[in-house]
Structure 1
Amino acid sequence: MYRALNIHIVLVGLEIWTDTNHISVLDGSAGDVLSRFVSWRQKDLLKRSRNDVGHLIIGRSSYDGSIGMAFVGTVCSQVQGGSISTLQHSNMLRHATVVAHELGHNLGMKHDDKRCPAAYIMHSTDNGSRNFSSCSADDFENLILNGGGNCLRNPPKASSVYKEPACGNNVLDDNEECDCGKPEECSNPCCDAASCKLTPGSQCAQGLCCKDCKFKVAGAECRSKMDFCDLPEYCNGSHAYCPEDIYIMNGYPCDNMRAYCYYGLCQSFDSQCEALYGKGARKAPDECFERANIKGDRFGNCGTRGGVYKKCPVQHSLCGKLQCTSVSLHNLPAWSVVSNTSGVLCWSSDFDLGSDVPDPAQVHDGTACGEQKACVGFECVDASRLGYSCDVKQSCNGNGVCNSNGNCHCAAGWAPPFCNRPGSGGSLDSGPA
């Protein structure tokens, strides 16, 4: 199904829960189960098995009619890179289209419906289609162009792939130097498709550190930083692939000490409002959050339980539904409400992306909600819960920051690992700057 979009799905891990379920799949709504699954993936699965996205297949008919749910555009996210589906019948091909639909959401694809009204995979109803629309192709292209699919450029190790080794399957197996597909499909001048060997004189065939069949020089930037809380990576001069994506350690202050870094993003209220409502949108006053989120409706809540909106306790109201001001009327979803709070217009919206897509207007985990406090799971908790455990003055001699692996990423002019001698910057994880 994905081949038409030039996407190759590779299975790198398979777990079958036979003795006990690692999360509860019987209680709550599809959204509740999805939240539990991505939390388990982050805390457990990723430590054992690197993956770009996880999918949970559940042996039940549905959750109040919902047969799947996924976060949109989160394929490379450690926090929300997941989706779920229910196996409701023995027709495995039909179920495969449901899995393809939910993975499509992870890859940035929205529902077709009015945009491409014919029956394609990304239509909001389960129609059994095996084809993606041009709308889906455009959505995926936008994800890539906006830097959302960086992890897709590094193929998995052959030892982790659940597939019989074969030349021409687009997977780099242990005995291969390259694999660009079958001879009739391959147009890569660096790879001989018939033998899966590099062509004479070629050092590499693909990868962010491969150009014109040669390794890029050491220090060439292969992945730019996408946010203040992200970190760049560099080629090492002897390998075709960019190092693993690394970012500043969770809990590091950003946005002039008004926010925290969380999985590579500075989680400020203003940036979240701009992402939803366009440039210039800003966080509404705290009073707006309190008045809206204690109601427990679609415009103000702290998530759902069993498909029912939860009211926010006052002390957690900043961690529920996002409330914004200075909103452009041209960017408003159809279902929006405005309230006048102390002379300020506060906006909240129901984006109505479909029953299989979580609400994108919930305040993100890691957002600061008070002095030394941050949002985690719809609660305003001590910021230490984010896991920051670095003294940059002591560990990095004040010349760098700690990265997500706990190592120093040195500023330009200083060398890793401790940023205490002259060098070109970077870390043990980033490749040579």
Structure 2
Amino acid sequence: MGRGLIVLRSNCSYVLEPLPDSPDQHQIYRLDDLRMPAGACGHQDSMATARNWLGDFAAGVKFPNHRVRREALQATKYVELLLVADYAEVQKHHFNIEATRLKLVEAANYVDKFYRSLNIRIALVGLEIWSNGNKCDCTENPYSTLKSFLAWSSKERVYRKHDNAQLITGVPFQGTTVGLAPVMSMCSDFQSGGVNMDHSDNAIGVAATIAHEMGHNFGMNHDSSGCCTTRAEEGGCIMASATGHPFPRVFNQCNRRELEKYLHSGGGMCLSNMPDTKRMYGGRKCGNGYLEEGEECDCGEVELMSPGTLCREKSGLCDLPEYCTGQSPFCPSNSYQIDGASCEGGKAYCYNGMCLTYKDQCLQLWGPGAQPAPDTCFENVNAAGDVYGNCGKDVYGNYRKCEK
């Protein structure tokens, strides 16, 4: 049984999938014949909305004060993805667990295909189907659903490692919203994920929504005028604020610049390590681009470099270079100076591989001319434990008070 997307040229694509009542036989049809309802992302491009996310953003993203080397951006990034289907999604598939599972796996494959153009691989490391009831609140309100799901996934991350979690729900969201996710939150312990309404019978539809919401996690905003040069009849761009027919499947240069800016600022620090192929959902598979146990090669022969060969340069004052071991085709996991180590001549401290100063964070958050407040402001305001002053969030999503 096979299924997939056949792209002949930018405006000519075909969908291949098994017949519903005869999985050994297949149907093929033009993508233009796939009807999709119009939908919109719940994220609003406004300063007010951006500032609502500010506390989450500041708690989950680290900023460097030195430009990350361009070579580091050219290295492939790996997102270890956890996909979850809620109870309503199972109901939508008439309680057919296998059909639900296949749709999620197919959607993950499409998302991986979309992101390959950005040199990002999406590795499905976990798939969970809530067939016996939801483990978080899944309602018509996308904002409360997102808050509840992110709280659940942050606790789940302790026991099941993943970089990003996406919920696929069969509950129709209010209005035209089909998805919602925090901006610039990839790798955040509490904010890396999104919620997506399953608005299409075909997996490509929900995959486009997941790719869009994950794009917000990567720091991408909705496309502004002039960004998307792909014609509407060709599907448009993934980061458009609203989607319709046919589905969008491409990122544009504006998206690339925003992604590059986010990675330059220190976002995505958890994406350098290649996932353990033994943990990937579905087990070993030839042709997936990952060299797995029992394979001599996958998309090219692997010739091991000698031990001590530099494989990843240091990207900043607090980062450390990595060297080949001579026993593995993969560069060791990214390592960096211990948190609290002095940098910038004693004016700043290392945290998660980044040399952080108050001034640099102010400039990143508020733009040119921003200045750090006196120490007494941090001591008093951050002790409040609210959106304006906090030390991040706990596993329940509540703001934590800072100790003086």
Band the TM-score falls in, shorter-chain normalisation:
0.5 to 0.7
Q: CA deviation at 1:14?
A: 0.5
Residue 253 of structure 2: aligned partner: 134
Q: Distance in 2 between matches of 1:275 and 1:61?
A: 36
Within 5 Å, give how 1:283-362 maps onto structure 2.
Answer: 283=372, 319-321=386-388
Letter in 1 for 2:239: M
Match of 1:97 among 171, 187, 208: 208
Identify the match of residue 225 of structure 2 among 102, 108, 114: 114
**Cα gap change, 1:252 to 1:121, in 2 (>3 Å):** same
User: For 2:352 and 2:150, how far apart are their aligned partners in 1?
Assistant: 14
Match of 2:152 in 1: 40
User: Is the partner of 2:401 in helix, strand or coil?
Assistant: strand
Distance (Å, rounded) in 1 between the aligned partners of 2:147 and 2:256: 27
Structure 1 segment 27-426 matched on structure 2, within 5 A:
29-44=141-156, 46-118=157-229, 119-127=236-244, 128-163=247-282, 165-180=284-299, 191-192=300-301, 198=302, 202-203=303-304, 214-215=305-306, 217=308, 222=312, 224=314, 232=320, 234-235=322-323, 237-238=325-326, 239=328, 240-243=330-333, 271-283=360-372, 319-321=386-388, 365-366=391-392, 379=399, 381=401, 383=403
Q: Give the CA deviation at 1:17.
A: 1.7
Tell me the secondary structure at the aligned position of residue 270 of structure 2.
helix
Between Structure 1 and Structure 2, whose CA radius of gyration is higher? Answer: 1
CA contact (8 A) 1:320 1:378 kept: no
Separation (CA, whole Å) in 2 of partners of 1:267 and 1:62? 39
Which amino acid counterpart does residue 277 of structure 1 have in structure 2? W
Q: Contact 1:151/1:245 (CA < 8 Å) preserved in 2?
A: no
Unaligned ranges ≥5, structure 2: 1-113, 230-235
CA distance in 2, matches of 1:83, 1:247: 31
Contact 1:235 1:243 in 2 (8 A): no
Q: In 1, are the aligned partners of 2:125 and 2:162 still within 8 Å (CA)?
A: yes
Shift of 1:264: 6.4
Q: 1:253 to 1:105 in 2, by over 3 A?
A: same
CA distance in 1, matches of 2:311, 2:289: 26
Q: 1:274 to 1:253 in 2, by over 3 A?
A: same
Q: Tell me if structure 1 keeps the 8 A contact 2:266–2:354.
A: no
Residue 98 of structure 2 corresponds to residue 9 of structure 1? no
3-state SS, counterpart of residue 180 of structure 2: strand
User: Cα distance, 1:168 vs. partner?
Assistant: 2.7
Unaligned runs of 5+ in 1: 181-190, 193-197, 204-213, 290-313, 322-362, 368-373, 385-433
Structure 1 residue 147: Cα displacement: 4.1
Match of 1:12, SS state, is: strand
1:324-366 Cα offsets, whole Å, 9 max, x none, are: xxxxxxxxxxxxxxxxxxxxxxxxxxxxxxxxxxxxxxx6644
Cα offset for 1:241? 2.0
* 1:5–1:268 distance in 2 versus 1, CA, 3 Å: closer
- The answer (yes or no) to whether the contact 1:120–1:133 under 8 Å persists in 2 is yes
3-state SS, counterpart of residue 84 of structure 1: strand
% same residue: 32
Contact residue 386 and residue 400 of structure 2 kept, 8 A: yes
Contact 2:184 2:217 in 1 (8 A): yes
Q: Conserved in 2, the CA contact under 8 Å of 1:286 and 1:318?
A: no
Q: What is the aligned residue count?
A: 278
Partner SS, residue 166 of structure 2:
strand
What is the TM-score when the length of structure 2 is the normalising length? 0.55
Q: Which has the higher contact order (CA 8 A, sep 6+)?
A: 2
RMSD: 4.3
SS of the aligned residue for 1:113 comes to: coil
| Superposed displacement of residue 97, structure 1 | 0.9
Q: SS of the residue aligned with 1:15?
A: strand
Task: Check 1:364–1:150 CA distance in 2 against 1; reply closer, same or farther (3 A cut).
Answer: same
Structure 2 CA distance for aligned equivalents of residues 260 and 23 of structure 1: 38
Q: CA deviation at 1:381?
A: 2.4
Equivalent position amino acid for 1:23 in 2? C
Task: State the alpha-carbon separation in 1 of the partners of residues 372 and 153 from structure 2.
Answer: 31
TM-score (norm 1): 0.52
The C-alpha deviation readout for 1:146-180, integer Å capped at 9, x for no partner, is: 44334333221111122463433212221124433
